[in-house]
Amino acid sequence: MSKPKLGIGMIGYQFMGKAHSHAFRDLDFFFPGGASPVLKAIAGRAEAAVRDAANQYGFESYETDWRKLLERDDIDVIDIVTPNYLHAEMAIAAAEAGKHVICEKPMAMTVEEAIRMRDAVKKNGVTGLLCHNYRFAPAVQYAKQLIASGRLGRIYHIRAQYLQDWIMDPNFPLVWRLRKEVTGSGALGDIGAHILDLARFLVGEITELTATMETFIKTRPLGEMSGGLEARVDGSQTGTVDVDDATAILAHFDNGALGVFEATRFAGGNRNGNRFEINGERGSIRWDLENMNLLHVYLEDDEAGLQGFRTINCTETVHPFADRYWPAGHIIGYEHTFMNLFASYFESIVEGKPFQPDFDEGVRNERVLEAVETSAQKREWVAIPQE
């Protein structure tokens, strides 16, 4: 029996385009029994750059108009890795063309956009994926199992940080990630969205929150991204930064837990510090993306003298997804979170099974992000509508 094949059409080709393409190319090797992605075409406005990306990433062809991808019968899935302001238009058009949709986070610029995206995939019978890949680190999946099984008991706290430092230089240019009309928000949507999503995945729904946001450097030279998180200055003109450099949040959950969150791109020495600690009545867990294979676990029922955090290397065959890769102790990396995510998503498409994080999850995430901005503006607690 031949494997089902899914033709991939990607819109955009920089940092996330590279990460997604790598995962697609290696998926058959590590998940041989699932659906097979075929890299059909990649789209971008600059012909030379998108042609080079197609050659590097292994796409069969390229287009300079993303709408051409929607007209092609050999494409089943549209993967959107563009700046945030383009997500809604592209996702809705893809769904209306009968294509499944992968969308990078944050899902949309507003709750209203996110709802229209969700409704479009439902109306047209396709499956949407919101690309929160950190859910799919084996250690995070194992943490979910521990919590869901009741091993930690009632959850009291989650404290989570996402700390970066790549824009601390005042001469770093005003790239699209620092312009509200293009990105929606700064540290909040870029990295805060990840820890808020992980909190919802692991602990429960956030019911209310209060937040503050700060922009430390308000004027920067104009410039563009040049690969990864690098950028170049274009000329001598400057512009105003109108998104947050840092956001801090206090939150209540529907199960009574309390959350404390910090997202900043001004934490010197932190290249990619995505971390959380969860405390329950019977134990606690800690995780840090920069050591993503390790889960630190404390259990109250350990005998006196042996109590304390133990370190679990989540590479044993009993750990989620670990059996797909190497023998125990042979660690995996950032790119494998995307492989685990896409393998699960493609399985859901082929078998017609439910999948998360879908666009319903995207709407819920967007409500939390909107509440953060509203709270920071009004300087008050904001309740989050529950669907």
Q: For residue range 80-111, what is the model confidence (pLDDT) as tens digits?
A: 999 999 999 999 999 999 999 999 999 999 99
Eight-state DSSP code of residue 229: T
pLDDT score for 1: 57
Q: Tokens for 264?
A: 């900043």
Q: Looking at the 3D structure of the chain, how many domains does it have?
A: 2
Taking the C-alpha atoms of residue 301 and residue 303, their distance in angstroms, rounded to an integer, is: 6
Q: Which of 242, 112, 145, 140 is closest to 198 using CA atoms?
A: 140
Percent of the chain with pLDDT over 90: 94
Q: Can you give the pLDDT at residue 34?
A: 85
What is the residue type of 345?
A: Y
pLDDT score at 214 = 98
Please give the distance of CA 95 from its chain centroid, rounded to a whole number.
21
Query: What average pLDDT does range 146-169 have in this prediction?
Result: 97
Q: Which residue do the tokens 């590479």 mark?
A: 315
Half-sphere exposure of 267 (CA within 13 A, CB side): 17
Q: Do residues 166 and 33 share a domain? A: no
Q: What is the pLDDT of residue 229?
A: 84
Span 243-269, average pLDDT: 98
Answer yes or no: is pLDDT of 190 > 90. Answer: yes
Domain C-terminal end among 75, 110, 133:
133
C-alpha distances out from residue 12 to 75, 90, 135, 260, 307, Å: 16, 11, 23, 34, 49
83 and 217 in one domain? no
Interval 63-91 mean pLDDT: 98
Whether residue 63 is contained in a domain is answered as: yes
Q: What mean pLDDT comes out for the span 65-85?
A: 98
- Number of residues assigned to the chain: 387
187, 263 contact by CB (below 8 A):
yes
- Same domain? 162 vs 311: yes
**Distance, first Cα to last Cα, the chain:** 42
CA distances from 89 to 78, 80, 92, 98, 118 (A): 12, 11, 5, 15, 12
Percentage of the chain lying above the pLDDT 70 cut: 100
Q: How many Å apart are CA 200 and CA 107, to the nearest integer? A: 16
Q: pLDDT tens digits for 218-228?
A: 999 998 887 77
Residues 52 and 160 in one domain: no
Last residue of a domain, one of 133, 160, 185: 133
- Reported pTM: 0.96
Q: What is the mean pLDDT of residues 322-345?
A: 97
Is 91 a domain residue?
Answer: yes
Positive or negative, the Cα torsion across 333, 336, 340, 342? positive
> What pLDDT is recorded for position 62?
98
For residues 120 and 144, state if they share a domain.
Answer: no
CATH of the domain at 373: 3.30.360.10
Range of the domain at 49: 5-133
Q: How far apart are CA 94 and CA 53, in angstroms?
A: 22
User: Has residue 300 got a pLDDT over 90?
Assistant: yes
Please indicate, yes or no, if residue 387 is contained in any of the structural domains.
Answer: no
Asked if the model's pLDDT at residue 23 lies above 70, the reply is: yes
Distances (CA, A) of 49 to 53, 205, 381: 6, 42, 46
If pLDDT is split at 50, 70 and 90, which confidence band does 137 have? very high
Q: Give pLDDT, residue 2.
A: 74
174 and 45 both lie in a single domain: no
Q: What is the CA radius of gyration of the chain?
A: 21
pLDDT at 50 over 60: yes
Ranges 217-221, 232-236, 273-277, 278-282: which has the least confidence: 232-236
The residue out of 86, 117, 133 marking a domain boundary is 133
Q: Is the peptide bond between 37 and the residue preceding it cis, with omega within 30 degrees of 0?
A: no
Same domain? 288 vs 144: yes
Domain of 27: which CATH number?
Answer: 3.40.50.720
Residues 291 and 353 both lie in one domain: yes
Specify whether 301 is located in the same domain as 261: yes
